[in-house]
Amino acid sequence: MIDFKGSKIKVVFMDVGGVLLTNGWGHESRQKAAKIFGFDYEEMDILHHFIYNVCEIGSISLDDYLDTVLFNQSRDFTKVDFKQFMYEQSVELPEMLSWLKSWKKKTILPVFALNNESLELNEYRIERFKLHDVFDGFFSSCYLRCRKPDPRIYQTALKITRVNPEECLYLDDRPMLVDAAKKQGIRSMLHENYDNTRYILEK
């Protein structure tokens, strides 16, 4: 549990995938795609891990990524159809997003996304799920050109918001990324479920 007695929280940072929405392009979605579109998952996955980090920091486009991992050979499906499938894998998780939109209207705290995401998926998710109703801004890897757990993404968020690390609260569903934020001095907690995170934010 987070100890709030040490200092006043001035800013909330929050991950998106695994907290508010499903992951943008996680392994479950890729496995599902392999079954539906009929390609070799293992072959695609090796190339995915080789190149997707480059896509998440905005150095290549989603089209470039797909050219590398799938359309490096003839396929019996189109890139347009496959990208539509990718977008459709983004689904709102139960309760959290709708509650946060309501909570955001009542709090004076600024809330920012701090997430790893490719440009096209990030912008689709912002618009599709009206994430501007929750976040005052987006510290996304595709904009900042670095991705968690790189210390620079946390440091950049702190510099831009002009707050000290101990004045922030950061929520993420991955322990490694929570620990990375803690190393920067940020008060961080693991998002485990809706009830726990709601309790923390209401407190």
Res. 5: pLDDT tops 90:
no
Contacts of 160 (CB under 8 A, 6+ apart): 139
| Entry pTM | 0.94
Q: What is the pLDDT of residue 6?
A: 36
**What is the per-residue pLDDT across 109-156, written as a single tens digit (0 to 9) for each?**
999 999 999 999 999 999 999 999 999 999 999 999 999 999 999 999
CATH number of 27-88: 1.10.150.240
CATH number for the domain whose boundaries are 11-23+92-202: 3.40.50.1000
Domain boundaries, the chain: 11-23+92-202, 27-88
